[in-house]
A and B are shown apart, each in its own frame.
Chain A
Amino acid sequence: MDSKRTPLLREEWNLEIQKMFESHFAPQWNANIGDRIGEEEFQFVKCFQKDLEFAKEHSLYQTKESILSFIETYQSTSTFFRNQLEGIHWKQNFESIPFTSRDDLQSKITDIIPNDTNLNEMVINPTSGTTGKPILAPNHPKAIGCYVPLIEYSVKKYGVTPVHSPKSTFAIQLCYQENTIVYATCHSLAGGAKFAKINIHPNSWKNPSDLQNFLIEFSPQILTGDPYAFESTMKMGIKYKPEAIHSTALELTPALRKNLSEYFQCPVINFYSLNETGPIAYSCPKNPEWMHLLPHDLYVEVISNETFTPLPTGNIGEIVLTGGRNPYLPLLRYRTGDQGEIQYGTCECGDHFPRLRLLSGRKPVYFQKPNGETVNPIDVARILRKNPFIYQFQVEQVTEVRWECRLSLSDTIEMSESSLEKEKTKIKEELESLFGEGSHVCISTNFPLDGKKQIVFINSYLSQKESKS
């Protein structure tokens, strides 16, 4: 560890984290990442945490009226805000403010970023890109630091008390991918508690039993990851009993939640978080189908899919967000592309912030190799995302051996017909190698680029098989 990556790093934290690095059971670490929290960021997050706790205690969530001051602040510094608000009486009529689309975040980012922000501190955390072209959301370490109190708030609601000590491991994040970064670090905002991101895929370990032993050796309080990773851990027969499972990124079905809870013998917290916004909501301990809005600085609307006007409680529509704390990405009526309904009022769990029920969110889709093994779509995304000219894509498994890969390419791309063909062949070969022997991938380039949240991975072959059985 070095103090450039973790500016507040202390000697005793370093000694503890070295134990993790050098563990006999450690995976093959391939990255070094720190929390990048300096004194200023530390103070920012502590203030945020204080405000969060006060707001939770007094049920002070953002409303249409209270979010106006946020908008006013950015009206003078963000060209995008200024343009969106020009000529309308937005203070009197919030609904007159035009929406921000995913497309805006991609194409107008230079206008959105306020003109008084220092760009040097910008960071970009890559996402899996399982629900459309990933948005390279610029962020600041201080806003990423706020994940700590937000996640801690959610686990505390499930009876987990985070231990802020370098001797403790607060969380280990599980992935199941052919290839991904794997690292260990500690979090200044958690008193130096350790954290590791590991890949449970056999590729990542020296011995098959190391994963199990590593988890036991460092006994993280919670396991984080997506339903796919947890399901894979379960299938691999890994025995570990965390204090809670913290699931994000993909839809967690009630059946899988029940299975995971029984298998790991702990509560399962479903978490709704977007790269563009950070944490949004966590599942209610009393009624896990519903998720409480987590931060106090986000205003949530649910808008009709037909009329695009806000819907009253009990109606399903698109979730729209305003606010946040990311200094590079203030959100003004941002259409998330996620569907759900909202409910207000007190809750027996004690968190009286509004509740969201997400609808058919991000279902995990797996592909199946002709030999029966499964393929994580994230590995497919990894291959396609490294090509800068691919703007959006969709991959569908049509039969046992056949995949359709639909691409939308940049229209400014300067590439000859023959180089394009070469690129397509290269992608085809890489995908076929991933899908295994006997697989056939067909590439087309007419996928529409319309800024909409498209389903990226479809497995019509398995769906047909499942519906027949």
Chain B
Amino acid sequence: MLEIRHYIKQILNTPFHQVDLSSVSLDAIWFDVFFSRTNQGKLFPFPKSFDAITNLNLKAIHIILANVLYDKESQIPEFALQSFYEYLSNTLPKLCELVPDYNSWTTDAERAEELIRSLFDAIQILPANETKEYFTDRYRSIDSRERVRILEETKKAQERAKEILRQLRQKEEEEAASKYNRE
């Protein structure tokens, strides 16, 4: 594995000028990626086709990741295909929803880092010179899903705070419960 900055750079340099997003076949690309990585297999590596995806932004994230994994110099080791398939099927659509414009991943270094860390997190590999703890901390701090979750929690907390204050005012007017002594 290389240090995280190498992968970030790869993402920022994704050669989109060579890709016609609307006509590209994701299945063909993923086939090539895994064929080049393993030099074996004549079958499509995933249980389900990705060619049905029409959302260009989602397609673009597939391309970005395929570009990183295709490159043998990236020194990304073997990983479980099942986890990767789940990542492509579940996490990527969510990320695409939160960061809709694919250009953000290739122009904003923090988003690029988020994308590669989210992949590494899913397939459980660590970039060079990082501990698991450091990796998790850093990932959490830049994770869009985490940011949205915090925002939602904050919003919920604010609504709850409002409700508490309303109830406090109301209960002050209402009847108390009888007790034998006073304070």
Contacts and interface: CB of A to CB of B under 8 A. Distances in A.
B181 A248 contact: yes
Contacts of A185: 178
Given A110-B161, A119-B167, A34 B178 contact: yes
Interface residues of B, number: 20
A151 B180 contact: yes
B168 A183 contact: no
A312 interface: no
B183 A128 contact: yes
A127 interface: yes
Nearest to A222: B180
A124 B176 contact: yes
| Interface of A, helix, strand, loop or mixed by DSSP | mixed
Nearest to B179: A147
Interface string B148-183: 000000000100110111011001101111111111
Nearest to B160: A115
A290 to B, nearest CB: 20
A185 B164 CA distance: 29
A148 B180 contact: yes
A249 B182 contact: yes
A441 B91 CA distance: 70
A226 B182 contact: yes
A225 B182 contact: yes
A224 B180 CA distance: 7
B134 to A, nearest CB: 17
Contact of A126 (B160, B161, B165, B176): B176
Interface of A: 5, 31-37, 79, 109-111, 113, 115, 119-120, 122-128, 136, 138-139, 141, 144-145, 147-148, 151, 170-171, 173, 175, 183, 185, 187, 195, 197, 224-226, 246, 248-249, 271, 273-275, 279
* Top 3 A-B pairs, shortest CB-CB distance: A110-B161, A125-B176, A36-B177
30 contacts: A5-B175, A31-B175, A33-B176, A33-B177, A33-B178, A34-B175, A35-B177, A35-B178, A79-B157, A109-B168, A110-B164, A119-B163, A119-B164, A122-B171, A123-B171, A123-B175, A123-B176, A128-B183, A136-B168, A138-B168, A138-B171, A147-B179, A171-B180, A175-B182, A183-B178, A197-B178, A225-B182, A226-B182, A248-B183, A273-B183
Given A5-B175, A126-B172, 7 more contacts: A123-B174, A123-B176, A124-B176, A125-B179, A273-B181, A273-B183, A275-B183
